[in-house]
């Protein structure tokens, strides 16, 4: 299940970046403005995010950042949650190269610099169990 969740999230990130990068429109001010001006694009992004079975997902924008949030629909036991959190942590570096390349491509396409993206994993009770921002802060 861990590999499926992580693989699915990697595929989702790539799909979101392709859709954002292919919009071909210059941004009025921020990434959030681009999303607000293009509801069709936002809908396509939401549909492009591949969500693992048993989870829901959402893409949101704020300023020049975006968040991809995955939430477990049903409670999972503490042991399984701990294993998943450890797996996400171990794979954060694997996700980094693709995520940062996609952000760089997005910056080129939109003319916006300093774009950041964050992945959030939320448990069924609404508590964040894992989060990671890209690019990583030095």
* Per-residue model confidence as pLDDT tens digits over 32-49: 998 888 888 788 778 877
The domain that holds 10 is classified in CATH as 3.30.300
Rounded to an integer, what distance in angstroms lies between the CA atom of residue 94 and that of residue 131? 15
Domain that holds residue 78: 2-134
Check pLDDT > 60 for residue 4. no
Give the chain's domain count. Answer: 1
**pTM, rounded to two decimals:** 0.75
In angstroms, the Cα distances linking 113 to 8, 27, 45, 100, 109 are 27, 11, 21, 12, 10
Torsion of CA 74, 55, 117, 89, to 10 degrees: 70
- Taken in order 42, 48, 15, 130, the sign of the CA dihedral is positive
Q: What is the DSSP letter of 74?
A: S
* Per-residue model confidence as pLDDT tens digits over 56-114: 999 899 999 989 899 999 998 888 888 888 888 888 888 788 778 878 887 887 888 99
Q: Which residues, 6+ apart, have CB-to-CB distance to 100 below 8 Å?
A: 134, 135
Confidence at residue 24, expressed as pLDDT on a 0 to 100 scale:
52
């Amino acid at each position: 299940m861990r590999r499926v969740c992580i693989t699915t999230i990697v595929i989702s990130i790539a799909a979101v970046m392709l859709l954002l990068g292919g919009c071909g429109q210059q941004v009025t001010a921020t990434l959030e403005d681009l999303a607000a001006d293009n509801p069709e694009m936002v809908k396509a992004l939401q549909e492009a995010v591949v969500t693992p079975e048993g989870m829901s997902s959402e893409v949101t924008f704020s300023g020049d950042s975006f968040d991809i949030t995955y939430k477990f629909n049903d409670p999972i036991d503490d042991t399984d949650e701990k294993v998943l959190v450890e797996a996400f942590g171990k794979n954060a570096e694997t996700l980094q190269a693709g995520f940062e390349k996609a952000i760089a491509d997005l910056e080129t396409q939109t003319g916006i610099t300093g774009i950041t993206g964050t992945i959030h994993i939320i448990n069924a009770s609404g508590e964040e169990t894992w989060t990671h921002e890209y690019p990583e802060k030095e």
